[in-house]
Amino acid sequence: MRTVAEVARMIDHSLLRPELTTGDIETGCALAARYRVASVCVRPADVPLAATALAGTGVLVGTVVGFPHGGNATAVKEAETRLAIEQGATEIDMVLNIGRLRSGQLDDVEADIRAVVTAAASAPVKVILENAYLTDEQKIAGCRAAERAGTRFVKTSTGFADGGATMADLRLMRATVSDTVEVKAAGGVRSLDTLLAMADLGVTRFGATVTDRILDDLDHRLRDRDGWTAA
């Protein structure tokens, strides 16, 4: 079984709900630092706060671009990306243009993604497909456009549509992109068993809001396996 530290480094702790207060963001960043997860993913306006809160912790600051619908003009997505990087973001989760993808306008989809990848410079970009709105053929086309555009990850969902990550979608995405592109699951990753099953498919990053529940569950299981008594 994977260690707590290994699983923690696969989690992007999500702080994207619109009602979250400044105090909620600070509390979430403290939780992320305590568990030493890969990153927090915050709303764009919260990037400076998160960057300050997480300085020196080793936890990265991620944010979203074109969120949650993907319909922003490309120039707006570029500007969002550049500002986020200037303010301390080190990872970018962008929503591709869902309507253009559904319309079969793949050149537009690819150009939109490439513009964000360029604006992000060395910061990894995760392209959100929002699979709940797509056919399998559209998911494949979106993944391939994202890879051609130079993305580091393809991602299932924003967590704000009717459906989130599914095992079938993750298999399809992992089979569609090359080994140089990683797969992120988001939306519905609410238990350790779900996360581990998805990891077995080759998923390497997870968006989660119940990070502490997942990692505490793993800690308890490992203690039980090794004959420890959980405190």
Give the CATH number for residue 145: 3.20.20.70
For the chain, how many structural domains are there in total?
Answer: 1
pLDDT digits (tens, 9 = 90+) for 121-178: 999 999 999 999 999 999 999 999 999 999 999 999 999 999 999 999 999 999 999 9
Query: Does position 231 have pLDDT exceeding 70, yes or no?
Result: no
Q: What phi-psi label fits residue 154: left (phi over 0), alpha (psi between -120 and 50 degrees) or beta? A: beta
Tally the C-alpha atoms within 13 A of residue 112's C-alpha that lie toward its C-beta: 27
Residue 223 to residue 131: CA distance in whole angstroms: 37
Residue tagged active-site, from 77, 126, 139, 184: 184
77 is a catalytic site residue: no
Report yes or no on 230 lying in a domain.
Answer: no
pLDDT at 228: 59
Q: Which of 222, 221, 180, 184 is nearest to 201 (CA)?
A: 184
**Structure confidence at residue 185 as a pLDDT band (50, 70, 90):** very high
Domain that holds residue 170: 4-225
Residue tagged active-site, from 12, 46, 93, 112: 93
Give pTM, 2 decimals: 0.95
- Residue that the structure tokens 């990053």 belong to: 205
Q: Which of 37, 35, 54 is nearest to 46 (CA)?
A: 54
12 is a catalytic site residue: no
Report yes or no on 231 lying in a domain.
Answer: no
How far from the centroid of its chain's Cα atoms is residue 11's Cα?
Answer: 8
Q: Tokens representing 120?
A: 């992000």
93 is a catalytic site residue: yes
